[in-house]
Structure 1
Amino acid sequence: MFGKILKRIDWLSVVIYFSLVLIGWTNIYSSTFTETQESIFNFGTLHGKQLFFIGVSFLAIILIMSLEVSFYERFSSVFYLISMVSLLGLFVFGKTIAGATSWYDLGFFNLQPSELAKVTTALALAKYLSDIQTDIKRKKDQFSALLIILIPAFLIIPQPDPGSALVFFALIFVIFREGLPLFYLAIGFAFILIFVITLKYGTIWLTIGLIIFTILFFLFKRKTLKVPKIPLAITFIIVILFSLSVNFVFNNVFEQRHRDRFSLWLRLEKDPKKLEQIRKTIGYNTYQSEKAIESGGFFGKGFLEGTRTKGDFVPEQHTDYIFSTVGEEWGFVGTATVIILFSILFLRLISLAERQKNDFARMYGYGVISILLIHYFINIGMVIGVLPTIGIPLPFFSYGGSGLLFFTILLFIFLKLDTNRLKENF
């Protein structure tokens, strides 16, 4: 059985996976290295624990590959239900770390059920979409698909862990791939844009901009495009009302740490000196991360030679900010290598998803792509300062046993499904 699997598995994806895990562990070792360390196999150290979970992940790969492909589709709903129960259990039995009750204390390690929920939600969504046999045009089907995504997200937000909750919304792109009208996506991006513009410039300037845009639109498009005035007026009112609610939500719903991050990201402080002070206090992690990457230059300072890494300048450098270690010790060459590896992996997974004969496999493949891509995009953007600090790990790279294990499971379930791509049904 394993002989056939070894012939059919996509080795390009496997090689990239192992490369990222190896490079990630090397940088975890560097970011946590002390002169008193005796062995890389000391499981009492952070890099030792990560090495242990690399071994556990490899065992998980063997188990995944040994199961029939039909197993994942058949029990996807059961897995989803179990993961939702595990999220609910956190409100009673959860362990609080860094202000978030997102973990179960299992002794040797802490288990984060939100990582499991990402896998099971991708499976459940693929199962539902493949079962309804439709192009997702019916409102009922759209609502049911969105509900599968929203349930885990709303269970995670109160922990509070908005970063992990945000990841689930990336699965909406799976629904778009299967036929959800782009109109909904446009609405979502429009409200995000309104939110950002309101914070940056205020409701008055937003209103003036809308009026100017509307006037110009009718001046140049009135002969070629007929737009009903009443729906346009209603839309205009909704936009203004939403804009007026932004400041209330920002000041009364968001926590102070979230407001500070948006203030830094959008440069809401006009005084350059105060802005720089904010960068060094509120945005300390990102500020130090940027400096570490800048100091690496083109070739980097060398393995275990990063002065900012050795000096613990960047908090949480082995987890969310691990990319800054790559930048300092391996320079532009190292960061470019990591980005290229991830880019090739994403392109390859898209190619694999598109060649699937089975609907469930294709939809799950796009779920995998969506989850990995949003983690990659937000983490790298956060580390280099172009996105606000959200706090989600870089897949296969950052320290964390739960993250590595479930990212591995997420990817290799799809690679297992791909080995059966020549068969139309499971």
Structure 2
Amino acid sequence: MSGKDLLKRLDWLSILIFVLLVAIGWVNIYSSTYSEAHGGVFDFSSIYGKQLMFIAIDVAFLIIILSLESNFFERFSSIIYTISLVLLLGLYIFGTTIAGATSWYNLGFFNLQPSELAKVATALAVAKYLSDIQTDIKRRKDQFYAFLVLLIPAILVIPQPDPGSALVFFSLVFVLFREGIPVFYLGIGLFAIMIFVCTLMFGSIWIAIILGLILAVFLLLKKQSFKVPLIPIIGIYIVTILFSLSVNFVFENVFEQRHRDRFSLWLSLEKDPSKLEEIRKTIGYNTYQSEKAIESGGFFGKGFLEGTRTKGDFVPEQHTDYIFSTVGEEWGFIGTTTVIILFSILLLRLVFLAERQKNAFSRMYGYGVVSILLVHYFINVGMVIGVLPTIGIPLPFFSYGGSGLLGFTALLFIFLKMDSNRLKEGF
């Protein structure tokens, strides 16, 4: 495909939103890190200057991606995935610890976080495996291997510790559901999460009593109309109670104190108001200050470089995971709504592009892109406004960081390259 044909076939709506998000993100990074001690916009010793440099590298990177053949990524997906796993393993020997996580390689001029690139590699690997089996994923063996592909990198990043990235890898299960894996698995996952949360809030005894009442009602109705075997139902009840009993052990002995405090804050587990407020202002300090910054922005915001909480450094790491709070304070409801609309349009557009693919690999990879971006966007915004516990993952195309920007750009533009070639035989 010639360069002229490629430009015609690219989805320019997605590219326009990408450019807007990167640009708006940089403006807010500039605002949240601005200091009169720094030089101009091109002061590369400043955070906003470094981000500008990352953006320039990113443009060169996406041009390279678009210059490759579309089937390059399908052909070499297994190799790319293997390299990403080797890089994750290498962190345990050569990794650099930043903010308590050994998730980086120090390259001198640049700190590389391989988990960001591993997300792209895993999305490619999942799409490759599912397209190779060429059938609905109904067999248990196929389901096992598909889960294993996304489970391996997740296991490698959890001890770093990087639970946020691990959660993002698990987001690729949505691709499996799109391709025919029984919804039964999703139901099990949601039920387990519900039991976990309810056990923390109410205790195992109440869980056993409520489920026992439900079981008793079921047994009474079963005599009249239900024909479901009794033994599996009782088995599910016993397994659920055992799982509930294990929750407190895991919470007290496996979770670190900071994790317990975050759950206590999120679920209001601490009944003493003074202690809860203390937790809120220590472990929950970032979220507390982020909420206050967004609240202070009002409808129209305080204006560019006018955010008092932003300028006062009230929100730690505001240019990374909490960049959305800068939007809220300086641009108000109008600004935050604009960002949310842009992300929503991009995600819906990518779903549309995924559905129109002629090639199964491209379609599955497209849904992998949507899954990863959606989880990042949903969790980051939820964390910043206080409706989700602090996990620590960046806002795509928006937060400061070279690895994240390169990873999200590769994720998106690999798919846009595939989409530009969708009418060609095989794609």
Native 8 Å contact 1:286 1:382 kept in 2: yes
Cα deviation, residue 215, structure 1: 3.1
Q: Deviations over 1:205-263 (max 9, x none)?
A: 11111122223344556534322111111110000000000111111111111111111
Question: 2:344 aligned with 1:326, yes or no?
Answer: no
Farther off after superposition, 272-281 or 290-299: 272-281
Q: Is the 8 A contact 1:358 1:423 kept in 2?
A: no
Alignment of structure 1 residues 152-163 onto 2, 5 Å: 152-163=153-164
Give the residue type in structure 2 aligned to 1:19: L
> What residue is the counterpart of 2:245 in the other structure?
244
Cα distance in 2, alignment partners of residues 371 and 221 from structure 1: 42
The answer on 1:303 being equivalent to 2:304 is yes
Measure, in 2, the Cα distance between the counterparts of 1:265 and 1:336.
Answer: 24
Give the alignment's TM-score, normalised by structure 2.
Answer: 0.98
Give the superposition deviation at 1:60: 1.1
Structure 1: segments with no counterpart, 5+ residues = none
In terms of mean alpha carbon deviation, does 21-30 or 225-234 score higher? 225-234
CA drift of 1:424 comes to 4.4
Moved more, 204-213 or 333-342: 204-213
* Partner residue in 1 for 2:179: 178
The residue that corresponds to 2:359 in the other structure is: 358
Work out whether 1:412 is the aligned partner of 2:413.
yes
1:234 maps to what in 2?
Answer: 235
Query: How far, CA to CA, are the matches of 2:218 and 2:415 in structure 1?
Result: 46
Determine helix, strand or coil for the equivalent of 2:71: helix
The corresponding residue for 2:205 is 204
What number of residue pairs does the alignment pair up?
426
1:317 — aligned with what?
318
Distance 1:189 1:44, change over 3 A: same
Task: Tell me the equivalent position of 1:39.
Answer: 40
Q: CA deviation at 1:18?
A: 0.3
Residue in structure 2 matched with residue 397 of structure 1 by the alignment: 398
CA distance in structure 2 between the aligned counterparts of 1:252 and 1:115, rounded to whole angstroms:
30
Deviation sequence 1:137-189 (CA, Å, 0-9, x none): 01111011111001100010111111111110000110110000000110011
CA apart distance, 1:373? 0.5
Alignment match, 1:2: 3
- The equivalent residue for 2:69 is 68
- Report the Cα offset of residue 87 of structure 1: 0.5
- The alignment's C-alpha RMSD in Å is 1.0
Distance in 2 (alpha carbons) for counterparts of 1:66 and 1:267: 52
SS of equivalent residue, structure 1 residue 136: coil
Distance between the aligned counterparts of 2:21 and 2:219, measured in 1?
A: 52
Partner of 1:138: 139
- CA contact under 8 A between 1:90 and 1:103: conserved in structure 2? yes
Kindly provide the CA deviation profile for residues 100-132 of structure 1, in whole angstroms up to 9, marking residues without a partner as x: 100000011100000110000000110110000
Partner of 2:127: 126
Per the alignment, residue 105 of structure 1 pairs with 106
**Offset of 1:37 from its aligned partner?**
2.1
Paired residue secondary structure (2:21): helix
Amino acid at match of 1:232: I
1:59 deviates by 0.7
Which amino acid is the alignment partner of residue 110 of structure 1?
Answer: N
Distance 1:299 1:254 in 2: 41
Counterpart CA distance in 2 for 1:274 and 1:301 is 33
Distance 2:359 2:421 in 1: 9
Q: Give the percent of matched residue pairs that are identical in Structure 1 and Structure 2.
A: 74
Match of 2:195 in 1: 194
Report the Cα distance in structure 1 between the residues aligned to 2:387 and 2:271, rounded to whole angstroms: 18
Larger deviation, residues 247-256 vs 391-400: 247-256
TM-score, normalisation: structure 1:
0.98
Amino acid paired to 1:203: S
Aligned partner of 1:339 in structure 2 is 340
Match of 2:165 in 1: 164
